[in-house]
Homo-oligomer: A and B are copies of this chain.
Amino acid sequence: MSFPNPRHDHGRCVSGALKTAENKSRALGLRFTKTRRKVLEILWQSHSPLGAYDILDRLQEDGRRPAPMVVYRALDFLMEAGLAHRLSSRNAFIGCSAPDDHHEAQFLICDQCGSAAEVEARPIAKAVEETAASAGFRVQHRVVEITGICPNCQN
């Protein structure tokens, strides 16, 4: 919901996210395969967005690095399933922190530590709706990515 304290128990973030993903996939009849799980786990290893090729680097287990397609396909799955998001302004990806409702998120991205927070910002969504409406525009997707300095980096 916002920037996590640097000393939080991050292991629980990861295990919680994986557990939720598993449940959601089962509920929707989707196949949460080994690669997909591994990619989501890598995404959750930090609260910073990761580039596809960074994920690739961390994906090699037995010294053999898979082809880019592998990771892009897994990311496509995760995004379709509402388990991850893409940050256009960074060409990077991050695990969704509210996968229960299928949504389009807004992000705050720290230029200093690189971490990103997915925010529930009803007022932003509302303002966007109204602006669009007054231009006679029918909204399909929203990209809202704010960069700056996070609370943890302001000291």
Contacts and interface: CB of A to CB of B under 8 A. Distances in A.
Contacts of A117: 135, 137
A136 B111 contact: no
A15 interface: no
Given A89-B143, A121-B127, A142-B145, 8 more contacts: A2-B135, A110-B137, A111-B140, A123-B130, A127-B127, A135-B151, A137-B149, A139-B146
A141 B148 contact: yes
Contacts of A143: 88-89, 143-147
A111 B140 CA distance: 9
11 contacts: A88-B88, A110-B137, A111-B140, A121-B127, A132-B148, A136-B154, A137-B146, A137-B150, A138-B154, A141-B148, A143-B143
